[in-house]
A and B are shown apart, each in its own frame.
Chain A
Amino acid sequence: MASTHEITLTVNGQSVTREVEPRLLLVYFLRDALGLTGTHVGCDTTQCGACTVIMNGKAVKSCTILAVQADGQEITTIEGLAHGDQLDPVQEGFRVKHGLQCGYCTPGMIMSARALLNENPHPSEAEIRRAIDGNLCRCTGYEGIVRAIEWAAEHPAPASAGVRS
């Protein structure tokens, strides 16, 4: 086995330190080492986007990043969005506008949408569709998802809520 490395990163606002093998992918670090199983493994080939998390403000596919590459970085996962019972507007939008059926793609889809809205609070429909181009959904046909993100843009959270970090 290759030598392990100690990494320290911020996940959902909390600093975590773990000893990891270099080959450990970020998605497995989040799921297995931290127990944050909201981030899903889908295609495992950088196509489906189920593993999307926000790293330093940008949506990324955590199946294609090594945990050691995330050393010192800031990560937000789906678990980091809600504040207690108060859902993030994107989560609420998915509920109100039926943005999901089976739910498998949903965490990744929501993280892509959250990254979009953080950079561009009033996206056009074309910009929304472009932002979720890297997230595949086999159920909904995407219409409900686009409506959900539009709903979130129209109902931004109060200043105290939203993505931590």
Chain B
Amino acid sequence: MIPASFEYHAPRSVEEAIQLLQRYNGEAKLLAGGHSLLPMLKLRLLQPEALIDLGRVPGLAYIRPADGDLAIGALTTYADIEQSAQLAQQARVLAEAAALVADVQVRNRGTLCGSLAHADPAGDPPAVAYALDAQFHLQGPNGARTVGVDDWFVDTLESAVGPDEVLTEVRLAVPGPRSGSAYRKFEQPASHYALVGVAALITLAEDGTVARCRVGITGVGPVAYRATGVEGALTGKRPDEAALREAAAHAVDGVEVLGDLHASPPFRSHLAQVYTQRALAAAAARAAGQPDPRAP
């Protein structure tokens, strides 16, 4: 499969990339790792006039602390994330999800920010973005702005990034003490896309009840979502098996559950509840400093 013809630019700065985006007036696409974009070009689902390759812009691949958060740059790959000892300790749900994205070759090229901008409803990163309360840093012709995760995922394959803006960085909230996080997914075995992917974060109060809970779910609906029904049902409770099961039963509340060749809507709903309970159980055990529960 050969993409339709396009012009190619390799700017050396974010400013230059923004100028190019303006020049093409919405008809250009930014290229980072290209592992979402190039498949769409090959299928001719997209035929942009130009690709603007961020790959030659220096200084966009990093993982570093920033005001108590973790900042991850536009060109940081899944492999970088998977291999980061800092993330394995501070944001385990992200390290765990990154290690489950597709396969080695894809993780060597694909970028976290690229996936978040692409907003694939079956991608793994959106679930993690909800669990870790992501903030998206954008640069455009009128300067910088920040978008919170609740306003980021607009629709299937549509995020809040404007046509002449660059997502330069995503910031993730580092969970405080007595916190645990986990990512659990049921994947399509060839593509490794999530039929259901659940990212959970639990912070325990000193008395062992759930002080804070955040749950992001991907693969289930037309857009990834925050499972507020699950969060509400568990907050204030002691995270025993019955409480986790009861909370996980809310995994698809209010969601238009997708059906396709791989999983019907009832099967997907069932998987969402099972994997939500597993992600919650792992997060709760880690928050309490206990070993991971065995998958049933």
Interface residues of B in 37-65 (CB under 8 A from A): 38-39, 41-42, 51, 53, 55
- Is B39 within 8 A of A64, CB to CB? yes
Whether A23 pairs with B3 at a CB distance below 8 angstroms is: yes
Q: Contacts A22-B7, A130-B104, A133-B104 given: A69-B55 contact, CB under 8 Å? A: yes
CB distance from B25 to the nearest CB of A (A): 17
A139 to B38, CA, bound (A): 29
Q: Tell me the nearest residue of chain B to A41, going by C-beta.
A: B1
CA distance A5 to B3 in the complex (A): 16
Binds B, one of A55-63, A78-86, A97-105: A55-63
Is there an interface contact between A2 and B34, defined as CB atoms closer than 8 Å?
no
Indicate if B89 sits at the interface (CB-CB under 8 A): no
CA–CA, A68 to B79, complex, Å?
22
CB–CB A5/B108 < 8 A: no
A71→B8 CA distance, assembly (Å): 13
Contacts of A136 in B (CB 8 A): 190
Number of chain A interface residues as a range: 20 to 34
Q: Chain A residues with Cβ under 8 A from B4's Cβ? A: 23
Q: Is B142 an interface residue (CB 8 A)?
A: no
Give A58 to B80 CA distance when docked, in angstroms: 12
Residues of A within 8 Å of B192, CB to CB, are 133
Are B34 and A66 interface neighbours, CB within 8 A? yes
B233 to chain A, nearest CB (A): 35
B259 CB to nearest chain A CB (Å): 22
CA distance A1 to B35 in the complex (A): 24
Q: How far is the CA of A69 from the CA of B37 in the complex (A)?
A: 13
B41 / chain A contacts, CB cutoff of 8 Å: 23
Q: Count residues of B near A (Cβ-Cβ below 8 Å).
A: 30
Q: Which residues of B contact A65 (CB under 8 A)?
A: 34, 38, 109
Q: Is the Cβ of A68 less than 8 Å from the Cβ of B1? A: no
Closest CB in chain B relative to A94 CB, distance in Å:
19
Contact B8 A2 (CB under 8 A): yes
Q: Which of A64, A71, A131 contacts B34 (CB 8 A)?
A: A64
Given A47-B191, A66-B38, are A61 and B8 also a contact pair (CB < 8 Å)?
Answer: no
Chain B residues with CB under 8 A of A44: 1, 42
A71 to B108, CA, bound (A): 17
Q: How far is the CB of B77 from chain A (nearest CB, A)?
A: 9
Give the distance in Å from the alpha carbon of A22 to the alpha carbon of B105 in the complex: 22
Across-interface contacts of B190 in A (CB, < 8 A): 47, 136
What is the 8 Å Cβ interface bit string for chain B, positions 9-43, against chain A (1 contact, 0 not)? 01000000000000000000001001100110110
Assess whether B55 is in contact with A112, with CB atoms less than 8 Å apart.
no
Inside 8 A of A47's CB, which chain B residues have their CB? 190-191
Q: Which 5 A-B pairs have CB atoms at the shortest separation, nearest pair first?
A: A134-B103, A22-B8, A58-B108, A23-B3, A133-B103
Starting from the known contacts A60-B105, A66-B8, 12 additional A-B residue pairs (CB-CB under 8 Å) come to A2-B6, A3-B7, A21-B5, A23-B4, A25-B38, A52-B105, A64-B38, A66-B31, A68-B10, A133-B103, A134-B104, A136-B190
Can you show 6 pairs from A to B with CB atoms below 8 A apart? Answer: A2-B5, A22-B7, A46-B35, A64-B38, A64-B39, A112-B105
Tell me the A residues contacting B by CB distance below 8 Å.
1-3, 5, 21-23, 25, 44-47, 49, 52, 58-61, 64-66, 68-69, 71, 112, 115, 130-131, 133-136
